[in-house]
Structure 1
Amino acid sequence: MAVHSTAKKRKGSAPDKRDRILKAAIQVFAKNGFYATRVSEIAKAAGVADGTIYLYFKNKDDVLITIFEEGIEQLLKILREVAESDDTFESRIRRIIELQLGLLEEQRDLAEVITVNLRQSSRLLKQYATPLFMQYIDVIAGVVREGQKEGAFRKDLNPRIVARSLFGALDAILLTWAIGEGDPAALRKAASHCASLFLEGLRQR
């Protein structure tokens, strides 16, 4: 089920101004936290008037939702391409792990907004994050299920539990990285270790 952004689409609106607002919001949310951030602070960081924010977004919640949706939808698009590729099943799982962590290694503020700020609102998590999370699980589980059918992965494992476990591991890695020093090299190393760990458990004996 696709989740569509609640951001207002205005005919003739300037995409660059909307993008500036989103980029500014990521920086301010990461610095101050979602609840402590005021719309006026986002506007100031974006170099626009306070009222301009409301030409593109309903409120502060809408800004956070849009950041999350657009970031996750970009990730899902890339992961689906990997999942549907002709690579070996092990290569697909490894590539998915590397891409998920790699996409954020140069975007520490975005990683913090997605992993930390969104958790501050259980309502937003349930209403917007859960549907996209289920799409993510479907992609990973699909690769595992196909690998099981072809004899590459163990058949005694539930594909959706494997997918949820992988998501949990990567989410925890991103969370600790985002609130820590944020060294990109640490993410790359973690991706390699995580891939080896999961593939060792999945591999058919």
Structure 2
Amino acid sequence: MKAENKHSKIITAATKVFAKKGFFTARISDIAKEAKVADGTIYLYFNNKYDILLSVFEEGVGKILGKTQKLLAANDDPVEMLRIYVIEHLTAMRKNKNLAEVIQIELRQTNKVIKQYRDKKFSEYTGIITTIIQFGQEKGVFRSDIHPDLSKRILFGALDEVSRVWNVTLETHYTVEEVADQVLTIFLRGIMVANN
């Protein structure tokens, strides 16, 4: 098996194990067993469990980030851009429930090093919302008295909570589109200029 395939296999296995057992309870041997590799193989690719967790996070968010940026580049309507972001995020979280679990729960509970890393990486991902809101303000679509950074946290917080409900309590009777419409309707009513 090629090195990149083993690396990817370990990341997939670790995501599943962390989501199921929790980061602190999970052992390297659990990840190795899930990946169907020897325990020592893990250390050829990663220094420790924290290193694996960072890689899970970086690769998972990196894929969502890349796809979202590509879709946004082809659009210049700030409302539609927010819709794209929301749908892409919700789709990714629903599609990979293990990754969603790791992002939502594990990265809130780990040590300061991970939290600092998460903030740095997440700021790039959530920063897209800030940029869209600023763009909408420049175009006169969104209210000028709205703080883009605070609005970003409000919108992402709503998305995070919806994803948590889907993945933790298994309330899956809403489609991605239905949830996106609800979140956006509530959010946009607060930030749109009155005549739009």
TM-score over 0.5 (shorter chain): yes
Native 8 Å contact 2:142 2:193 kept in 1: yes
- After superposition, the CA RMSD in angstroms is 1.9
Partner SS state of residue 35, structure 1: coil
Shift of 1:161: 1.1
Structure 2 CA distance for aligned equivalents of residues 98 and 176 of structure 1: 16
Helix, strand or coil for the counterpart of 2:142?
A: coil
Does structure 2 conserve the Cα–Cα contact (< 8 Å) formed by 1:115 and 1:175? Answer: yes
Q: Which residue pairs with 2:187 in the alignment?
A: 198
Superposed CA deviations along residues 136-169 of structure 1, whole A, max 9, x for unmatched, are: 3432111111111111111110111111111111
Unaligned runs of 5+ residues in structure 1 are: 1-11
The offset of 1:188, in angstroms, is: 4.0
Q: CA deviation at 1:184?
A: 7.2
2:105 to 97, 116, 130: 116
- Is 1:139 paired with 2:128? yes
Q: State the SS of the aligned residue for 1:104.
A: helix
How many angstroms does 1:96 deviate by? Answer: 0.6
Higher relative contact order (CA 8 A, sep 6+): 1
Structure 2 unaligned blocks of 5 or more: none
Identity of aligned residues (%): 37
Please state if 1:68 is matched with 2:57: yes
Q: Residue in 2 aligned with 1:42? A: 31
Quickly say closer, same or farther: Cα 1:184–1:111, change in 2 above 3 A: farther
CA distance in 2, matches of 1:18, 1:182: 33
Higher share of residues assigned helix: 2
Shift of 1:124: 3.9
SS in structure 2 opposite 1:103? helix
Task: Output one character per residue of 1:69-102: Cα deviation in whole Å (capped at 9) or x when no partner.
Answer: 1111222223323443334111111111011011
Aligned residue pairs, count: 194
| Cα distance between partner residues in 1 of 2:114 and 2:58 | 11
SS at the partner of 2:20? helix
Offset at residue 204 of structure 1 (A)? 0.9
Q: 1:177 to 1:122 in 2, by over 3 A?
A: farther
* Paired AA for residue 22 in structure 2: G
Q: Given that residues 83 and 184 in structure 2 are in contact (C-alpha distance below 8 angstroms), is that contact kept between their aligned partners in structure 1?
A: yes
Does 1:183 find its partner at 2:176? no
Paired position in structure 1 for 2:43 = 54
One-letter amino acid of the structure 2 residue matched with residue 72 of structure 1: V
The aligned runs of 1:23-34 (5 Å cut-off) are 23-34=12-23
Aligned residue for 2:26, secondary structure, equals: coil
